[in-house]
Chains A and B, each alone.
Chain A
Amino acid sequence: DQQVKQNSPSLSVQEGRISILNCDYTNSMFDYFLWYKKYPAEGPTFLISISSIKDKNEDGRFTVFLNKSAKHLSLHIVPSQPGDSAVYFCAANDRGGNQGGKLIFGQGTELSVKP
C-alpha cells in the first residue's frame, strides 16, 4: 500500500523555465509534508515543508502547494537551474499519531534541467 506516490519517474526542463513536481497521498491523517532533494551517493537534503493548515509555502525559488481535498501537493522551482538536477522526494508525516516521527516517502522524480 503506497501511501505517497510520485507518478512521474523523470522530468526534463529547460534552464530558466518552471519545474513542477507532483505528489499524491492517500492517508488523510497526514498533516505535514516535506520535499527533499537527493544527489547520487549523498543523503537527502531538506528543501521545504508545509503544514496541512496552509495551502502554500514559499522559500526563495521553491514553492510548495497543498490541495488537501485532492490529496495532492506540488513543488514549483522558478527559475530552474542546471544545479537543480537531482532526484526529488516528497514525504508525509502524521505528527498527531503514535508514529509521529515516521516519514513516508514517495518513489522520487528525477529532474534534469538542460542548459
Chain B
Amino acid sequence: DSGVTQTPKHLITATGQRVTLRCSPRSGDLSVYWYQQSLDQGLQFLIQYYNGEERAKGNILERFSAQQFPDLHSELNLSSLELGDSALYFCASSVSWRDEQFFGPGTRLTVL
C-alpha cells in the first residue's frame, strides 16, 4: 500500500459524458501527478500540481482538466468522453518534484 488513494476503482460511462476522478496523496506529500496508461501508449504524464499550483503539463487534452485543493487532494475531470479515452488513470504523489513518486491503485475508465 503506497498511501495514495484513488476513487473510484472502476468507472463505466458513455461517449459524450463527463467524469471526475479523485486522488488523495500520501500524508506530507505536496506534489500530485496524473498519468494515463493505455494499451498502445504506455504510461503517459498528464499534469502535475505542487501545493495547489500547476507545476508541469504533458500532452493533456483540452477536454481534460485537473485541480489540487487546499487539503492537497486532486481531481481529474474528463469531459466529452470518447472511446479512445478508455484507459487506466493513475495518480502519484511525492514530497517535491525532485523526489520519487508513489502511485495509487488507479481508476479504470471504460467509455462505451
* A, B from the same assembly: yes
Q: Which A residues are closer than 8 A to B by beta carbons?
A: 32, 34, 36, 41-46, 49, 89, 91, 95, 98-108
Number of residue pairs A-B, CB distance < 8 angstroms: 64
User: Contacts A100-B56, A103-B45, A107-B42 given: A43-B103 contact, CB under 8 Å?
Assistant: yes
Residues of B within 8 A of A43 (CB): 2, 4, 90, 92, 103-106
Residues of B within 8 A of A102 (CB): 45, 48, 56, 58
CB of A100 within 8 A of CB of B101, answer no
Interface size bracket, B side: 20 to 34
Q: Which residue of B lies closest to A91 (CB)?
A: B43
Inter-chain CA distance A104–B105, complex, in Å, is 19
CB of B42 within 8 A of CB of A108, answer yes
Inter-chain CA distance A99–B60, complex, in Å, is 14
Residues of B within 8 A of A45 (CB): 2, 103
Residues of A within 8 A of B92 (CB): 43
Residues of A within 8 A of B62 (CB): none
Known: A43-B103, A101-B94. 9 other contacts (CB 8 A): A44-B103, A46-B102, A95-B98, A98-B56, A99-B58, A101-B48, A103-B33, A105-B43, A105-B44
CB of A104 within 8 A of CB of B101, answer no
